[in-house]
Amino acid sequence: MKLLKDTPVYLLALIYLVFGSNYFFHFINMPPMVGNAGNFVGVLFSTNFLLVVKLLEISFAVLMLVPKTRALGLVLIAPITVNILLFELLIANQPGLAVLMVILNGVAIAQRKEQYLGMIGSRLGLATI
């Protein structure tokens, strides 16, 4: 049962580890992006912004794989996941893997909601959710 509960986390971590590592090792042949998507990624690449994002993705994926830091990793990776979704929807106009990633991230966070009460519970006056 625990493995079933952790499946969304493992899948999300795997996605981030594979695509984060691909930035450095180029084992997946990625088609060139064109138009606004190509321009956007070109700027991210030329300014080394994408390098930082990929390092964060790999770091947060490792946090998600360690049980004691799993909740932290999920919260830290969530903004990156949302940004990937926004890129796919608004710039590339091709929703894809990010839709699944947002669902996995949301399910994994919802499964651990009690671990986040310390962050938001006292501010909102919530004792339990």
| C-alpha to C-alpha distances, 96 to 51, 65, 73, 89, 124, nearest whole angstrom | 22, 24, 23, 9, 35
pLDDT digits (tens, 9 = 90+) for 72-104: 999 999 999 999 999 999 999 999 999 999 999
Tell me the per-residue pLDDT of 2-16, one tens digit each, with 9 for 90 and over: 778 999 999 999 999
Quick check: is 30 in a domain?
Answer: yes
Range of the domain at 22: 2-124
Say how far apart CA 8 and CA 21 lie, in whole Å. 20
pTM of the model: 0.90
Cβ within 8 Å of residue 109, ≥6 positions away = 74, 75, 78, 116
Domains held by the chain: number: 1
Query: Are 23 and 53 spatial neighbours (Cβ–Cβ below 8 Å)?
Result: no
Q: Look at residue 92 and tell me if it is in a domain.
A: yes
Residue 33 counted as domain residue: yes
Residue 129 inside a domain? The answer is: no
